Amino acid sequence: IPLTQSDSSTTSSTTTTNSTLLSNLVISSVTLYPNFSSSTISYNTTVSSSISSVIVTPTASDTSATITVNGETVSSGSASSSISLSSGANTVTVIISGTDTTTYTITINRLAANKYRVFVTSASYNGNLGGVSGADSKCASDSNKPNDGSTYKAVIVNVTNDRRACSTANCGGGSSENTDWALKANKDYFRATDGTQIFTTTNSGIFSFGTLLAGWDSGTQKKIWTALNTDWTTAGGSCFTWGSTSSALSTQYGVSDSTGTASIFSGSTSCNESLYLLCGEQ
């Protein structure tokens, strides 16, 4: 079975038997990126500053195999001892030995206090999101949401201003223009998947274009609903306040791999199309 790194490249000339693969890997308070697969041996994830330790529960495909977690022998399907996390990158190594040996490596990025995350949903949705609150619920239930008790809002706006970033270009009037906005003021934001810093917000909870350090997501390009103009004001769409799937209605979207204005406004599309959501930590 070829083993793959988290960048989906295949390791050369590496073949293992099922006796030296994990059938499951669970880490407390952690969402693995990519999702666990027996043949994927490298993972990245982030946790908030409130998570100071994790517990690892590995399960072997063959229960006769030997498993160690950071050097500690752990029975298949049993929990390891608590592993302390420092701020920054922490490496957890799970080694399973049988007829061969396979090493799984998990990098857990523990953010410092007052650092926040964003993620792009794994699921896509048409324009009937159930309003702003429905979009927030979709962020909360998405499999890409970090499993550490954090809460998220959808980075969208609508024409009735239930959620608004700016009422004037680039929030010329300051943070008073925000209404239930999904990004916090004067904060550093990181990708939830791999801990890459993306942007720092202004005192109005937005960022200046030219300062976006990376795309919302490291994978293939995804279109995300926003209803935003490039100056953070609300565009004229929003799929009838995020309640319509009509092909006659359209609204604005951004793309996940842009570091320019296309990150929030790349074009317009019909409300019957399925796009993703960008979710910001609260």
CATH number of this structure's domain 114-282: 3.10.100.10
User: What confidence score (pLDDT) does residue 14 get?
Assistant: 44
Average predicted confidence (pLDDT) for the chain: 93
Which of 15-19, 174-178, 182-186 has the weakest average pLDDT? 15-19
> Would you tell me how many other CB atoms lie within 10 Å of the CB of residue 247?
11
User: What confidence score (pLDDT) does residue 17 get?
Assistant: 54
User: What confidence score (pLDDT) does residue 2 get?
Assistant: 54
Contacts of 261 (CB under 8 A, 6+ apart): 209, 230
d(CA 139, CA 117): 13
Task: State yes or no: pLDDT of 265 exceeds 90.
Answer: yes
- Find the mean pLDDT for residues 73-97: 97
pTM of the model: 0.85
User: What confidence score (pLDDT) does residue 4 get?
Assistant: 55
User: What confidence score (pLDDT) does residue 219 get?
Assistant: 86
Measure the CA angle with vertex 111, ends 152 and 106; round to 5°: 100
**Interval 8-60: pLDDT, tens:** 433 333 444 567 999 999 999 999 999 999 999 999 999 999 999 999 999 99
Q: Where in the chain is the domain with CATH 2.60.40?
A: 18-110
Q: Where in the chain is the domain with CATH 3.10.100.10?
A: 114-282
User: What confidence score (pLDDT) does residue 5 get?
Assistant: 52
Task: State yes or no: pLDDT of 225 exceeds 90.
Answer: yes
Strand 72-73, strand 53-54: pairing: unpaired
Please give the residue that has the higher pLDDT: either 1 or 244. 244
Strand 83-84, strand 188-191: pairing: unpaired
Write out the CATH class of domain 18-110: mainly beta
User: What confidence score (pLDDT) does residue 236 get?
Assistant: 84
Outline where 131-271 has alpha helix (H).
131-141, 239-242
- Find the mean pLDDT for residues 151-161: 97
- The residues that bridge with 199 in the sheet, in sequence order, are 189
Quick one: pLDDT band at residue 63, thresholds 50, 70, 90? confident
